């Protein structure tokens, strides 16, 4: 598909960003990319996130049908989150973001060494 530079595409980009907005959503999706995870494991995996934010961000993602929430009748209760098929369609984007981030960090480190 050919993307042209016009308002339609600016809006399309914005639609996507609206769903991924906030400090944590992309990281949550990235963490779920390769496996379902429990709430507490997600919180360990994602450095610095509070339970409140994890909970509310997951709810947003659930509303947008990117993740499913499964309550397990363990004692005490545990909850598993997992990407939906639809959520999986974001995987490629996440991978690109990660690759770019890695390259960017290299570039920054290179600069630091130069000086």
The answer to whether 61 and 67 are in contact (CB under 8 A) is yes
Distance CA 107, CA 64 (A): 35
Q: Residue 38's CB: how many other CB atoms inside 10 A?
A: 15
50 binds, among DNA, its own copies, none (CB under 5 to 8 A by kind): DNA
How far apart are CB 56 and its own copies at their closest, in Å? 18
Q: Mask: binding to its own copies, 30-69, rule CB under 8 A, as x and -?
A: xx-xxx---------xxx----------------------
- Residue 33: CA atoms inside 13 Å, Cβ hemisphere, count? 15
**Binder among 28, 29, 58, 67 for DNA (CB under 7 A):** 58
The answer to whether 58 and 67 are in contact (CB under 8 A) is yes
Interacting residues toward DNA by CB under 7 A: 21-24, 38-41, 43, 48-53, 55-56, 58-59, 69, 76-80
């Amino acid at each position: 598909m050919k993307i042209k530079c016009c308002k339609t595409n600016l809006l399309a980009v914005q639609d996507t960003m609206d769903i991924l907005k906030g400090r944590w959503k992309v990281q949550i999706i990235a963490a779920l990319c390769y496996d379902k995870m429990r709430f507490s494991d997600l919180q360990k995996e994602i450095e610095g996130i509070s339970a409140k934010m994890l909970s509310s961000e997951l709810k947003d993602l659930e509303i947008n049908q990117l993740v499913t929430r499964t309550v397990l009748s363990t004692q005490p209760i545990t909850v598993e989150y997992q990407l939906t098929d639809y959520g999986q369609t974001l995987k490629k984007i996440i991978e690109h973001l990660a690759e770019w981030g890695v390259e960017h960090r290299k570039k920054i480190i290179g600069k630091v060494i130069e000086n």
